[in-house]
Amino acid sequence: QKEVEQNSGPLSVPEGAIASLNCTYSDRGSQSFFWYRQYSGKSPELIMFIYSNGDKEDGRFTAQLNKASQYVSLLIRDSQPSDSATYLCAVNTGLTGGGNKLTFGTGTQLKVEL
Amino acid sequence: KAGVTQTPRYLIKTRGQQVTLSCSPISGHRSVSWYQQTPGQGLQFLFEYFSETQRNKGNFPGRFSGRQFSNSRSEMNVSTLELGDSALYLCASSRDLFTEAFFGQGTRLTVV
């Protein structure tokens, strides 16, 4: 089982719709979770950071974390063509007393169609 | 507030050579992590430094090494380059353990 799993997509949604991206992880001790957006040829850009169970909203983005189910999701409301990119889920699998270590999923390609 | 700065942005090296990449983290951030991104393997963790100490290391051969200076700037070195080392090398800056991590623009290394 991979440590961090995402559907590779592509996920296609019409402009203005809600895009829902999902991620599961295997390490129950993981304490912080990230969603990055990466355009082709560019570096990952941090979209959301969450560490507590529940929802966290920032503009059109909402991250949802459920540690019991080992599941983290990202909702993008009012999707725009500029949201078309690869979305990477990352989990900090570092240990307390150790160091940071982000483990990434393979990414979900999102296409927002006009 | 300045972001994470990586230099150089692009490098072309020959097999067998060595290379040094540099990363300057966000001011106040003491943790610097390095990652390799390739189309086949995705993003993979290399190592992490905090206050000049390596705290965590990924599963890469000893040809990959790094260090961190007292001003939190970090360098990574790859010796005896192989064709398979061609990749985008990214560094991430964090204030502390389990906090937000921001990436630099990356260094694209091509080994010929």
Strand partners, B78: B19, B64
Of residues A96 and A56, the one with the higher pLDDT is: A56
pLDDT at B50: 94
Separation of alpha carbons A101 and A85, rounded Å: 24
pLDDT at B2: 79
Give the pLDDT band (50/70/90) at residue A62. very high
Residue type, B86: S
- DSSP percent split of chain A into helix, strand, coil, nearest 5: 5, 55, 45
Task: Answer yes or no: is pLDDT of A97 > 90.
Answer: no
Task: Give phi and psi for B65, each to the nearest 5.
Answer: -140, 165
Separation of alpha carbons A56 and A49, rounded Å: 9
Q: Which of chain A's residues have a Cβ under 8 Å away from the Cβ of B103?
A: 36, 43-46
User: Mean of the per-residue pLDDT values for chain B?
Assistant: 96
Q: In Å, what is the CA distance from A71 to each residue of A62, A110, A113, B42, B99?
A: 14, 19, 27, 21, 19
Q: How far is A63 from chain B (nearest CA, A)?
A: 14
Rounded to an integer, the average pLDDT of A99-108 is 94
Size of interface A-B (CB pairs under 8 A): 75
pLDDT at A1: 65
Cα–Cα nearest to A4, from B98, B44, B90: B44
Give the pLDDT band (50/70/90) at residue B97. confident
Structure tokens at A2: 């991979």
Task: Answer yes or no: is pLDDT of A16 > 80.
Answer: yes
Q: What percent of chain A has pLDDT over 70?
A: 96
Asked if B102 has any chain A CB less than 8 Å from its own CB, the reply is: yes
Of residues B110 and B40, the one with the higher pLDDT is: B110
DSSP reduced 3-state for B61:
coil
Strand partners, A37: A45, A87
Task: Answer yes or no: is pLDDT of A79 > 90.
Answer: yes
Residues in chain B: 112
Give the pLDDT band (50/70/90) at residue A98. confident
- What residue of B is the nearest CA neighbor of A46? B102
Of B31, B98, B106, the CB nearest to A31: B98
Give the pLDDT band (50/70/90) at residue B17. very high
Task: Answer yes or no: is pLDDT of A87 > 70.
Answer: yes
Cis amide linkage into residue A44, ω under 30° from 0: no
CB contact set of A57 (below 8 Å; sequence gap of 6+): none
Task: Answer yes or no: is pLDDT of A8 > 90.
Answer: no
pLDDT at B24: 98
